Structure formats: structure tokens, C-alpha cells
Amino acid sequence: MSDVPLIHLDGLTKTLTGQGEPRPILSGVNLTVHPGDSVAILGRSGSGKSTLLSLIGLFDRPDSGRYLLHGNDIARVPERRAARLRSQEFGFVFQRFFLLKHLTALQNVSMALVNGQGWLPRRKRRAKVMAALEQVGIAHLARHKPARLSGGEQQRVAIARALVREPKILLADEPTGALDTETGALVIDVLHAATHRGCGLVLVTHDHAHANRMQRVLRLTDGMLVPEHQGVFR
Ligand SMILES: Nc1ncnc2c1ncn2[C@@H]1O[C@H](COP(=O)(O)OP(=O)(O)OP(=O)(O)O)[C@@H](O)[C@H]1O
Ligand SMILES: [Mg+2]
């Protein structure tokens, strides 16, 4: 039971067509993520890291290959079901924080519950939101609006917003890209802490120090994920 992976990708492929010729971006991606696993994905710009996260997060579908979520093949789920799975299973964190600037931290995190989980009594919702802010270490800033928060604090609000729905998997696409190294390290701490509560974490990053905090470090190259040679860049 518990050895069914959260995510199992087997030979995923994706070709994208922009203005020009169709370009194969992913040519056979394999990846297995269990509860509590943390995986870093490195790769040069344009190698397809964000494309891969968008397939994992069900914003898009692969051309071929198998995608098992809790053991069920969802490579070709229709959009309605994908939307439901996105809000039930995944938490997303991006380089930009996408906070609503006229709302407080508490209200920003609250939005994730209003949109995703039907109706919750106000008191229950508030307790969940405060617990999420607590988890990322900024409960004391609950009443602050984004303009009064540092970049790192804003990203932690965004992470709390991802965590408040208790996702099984966190997908983070360069979450420290807009932050200095020290602040970035704090954000990685917060993401890492979620794996101790059983969340799977897939982190796309350009930062080797951050990547090396994860259990596994992979590199997306020629459309495939390969183990990164530890130590080469250190
Ligand atoms: N909708 C699209 N149509 C056509 N090509 C696309 C589309 N989206 C992305 N691409 C191309 O696919 C390739 C992979 O893009 P992707 O954004 O996944 O790379 P990335 O590894 O995340 O890069 P970065 O590190 O710069 O974020 C790039 O060459 C990009 O130009
Ligand atoms: Mg990208």
C-alpha cells in the first residue's frame, strides 16, 4: 500500500510547436516520487524543466508514455478531472509569488481554500490558514499586505497558500529565483520541512547548493532525466 509511489513517470514524451518546426522537448522521462521524497531538477535554460513540471501538475498532457498518480494512469485524463486533481493533489510554487496586493497574508492564503475546497466555516478556515502560516514561520505577519513583506516573506506566504490545501506533492519552479542566496536558503528550508510531513517535493532550480539539499539531484538533458554527478560543480 504505502509502497505505491505518489508519482511514477515512465517514458514521457512531449513535442512543442511554436511558430517554427515542432521541437521534441521531452524524449522519455522516467521519474518516481514517494511520499516524503525530495527531488531536485537541474538543467540549462530551455531544457524543458518547466514543461515537465506542467505535465506533472496536469496543466498539460504528454504525447506518449505513462503517468501514474497513486498507481492510476492519468496520462490522458480529461480537463475536468485534471482540474480536480490539481487542486486536491498538488501545491504549486513559482519564481514570482503571485500574491494579491490588496489582501493580507492571511487573506491571500485563505483564497486557496475559498477557491478549492467548497465551503468551510470561517473559524475552521482561519485555523487552517494560521497553521499554514505557522508552518512557514510567518504567523506573526498574518495581517501584513505584500508591500510590507520582504521577498522571502512573500514567497513564504505563497508556500503557505500551496500548503493550506494539504497537497500530496509540491511542485516548485525556481522558487528562489527572485531571492538572494540567504533568503533563498530559508525558503528551501520551508519546502524541505513539508517533506517531513510526508509531502513529495519536486524542485526545479539553477542553484546547486539548493539542489544538494534534496535527497536526489537529477539533470534534464536531451529530454531525459539523468542522475547529476555529485560534486562536479562544487
Ligand atoms: N507553448 C510552447 N510552444 C512552443 N515551444 C515552447 C512552448 N513553451 C516552451 N517552449 C519551448 O520549449 C523549450 C523548453 O521550455 P521550458 O520553459 O520547459 O524550459 P526550462 O528548462 O524551464 O527553461 P528555464 O530554465 O529558462 O526556465 C524552450 O525551448 C521553449 O522555448
Ligand atoms: Mg523554466
Q: What is the CATH number of the domain that holds 123?
A: 3.40.50.300
Judge whether 131 lies within some domain: yes
Which of 41, 44, 51, when mutated, tests ligand 1's pocket best, judged by the most ligand atoms within 8 Å of its CB?
Answer: 51
Judge whether 157 lies within some domain: yes
Judge whether 106 lies within some domain: yes
CA of 142 to the centre of ligand 2 (A): 30
CA distance 157 to 175: 12
CA distance 165 to 15: 32
DSSP code, position 140: G
Can you read off the three cell numbers belonging to residue 108?
491571500
pLDDT digits (tens, 9 = 90+) for 17-26: 988 889 999 9
71: left (phi over 0), alpha (psi -120 to 50) or beta: left
Q: Phi/psi at 79 (nearest 5 deg)?
A: -60, -40
First to last CA, the chain: 39
Atom index in ligand 1 nearest the CA of residue 206 equals 25
The count of domains in the chain is: 1
- Per the structure, the complete domain to which residue 129 belongs is given by 36-59+83-230
Given this model, what pLDDT does residue 231 score? 53
pLDDT digits (tens, 9 = 90+) for 88-104: 999 999 999 999 999 99
Q: Is the pLDDT at 232 greater than 70, yes or no?
A: no
The reply to whether ligand 1 has any atom less than 6 angstroms from the CB of 198 is: no
Judge whether 161 lies within some domain: yes
Percent of the chain with pLDDT over 70: 95
Split at pLDDT 50, 70, 90, the class of 234 is very low
Judge whether 91 lies within some domain: yes
The reply to whether ligand 1 has any atom less than 6 angstroms from the CB of 118 is: no
Helices and strands (H and E) in the chain: how many: 7, 10
Judge whether 70 lies within some domain: no
CA of 144 to the centre of ligand 1 (A): 35
Atom 27 in ligand 1: which residue has the minimum CA distance? 45
Which of 49, 53, 220, when mutated, tests ligand 1's pocket best, judged by the most ligand atoms within 8 Å of its CB?
Answer: 49
The reply to whether ligand 1 has any atom less than 6 angstroms from the CB of 43 is: yes
Can you read off the three cell numbers belonging to residue 58?
496536469
Q: Measuring CA to CA, how many Å separate 198 from each of 35, 136, 170?
A: 5, 16, 11
Judge whether 154 lies within some domain: yes
Judge whether 153 lies within some domain: yes
Q: Which of 25, 109, 93, 28 is nearest to 57 (CA)?
A: 93
Q: Is the pLDDT at 173 greater than 70, yes or no?
A: yes
Q: Is the pLDDT at 169 greater than 50, yes or no?
A: yes
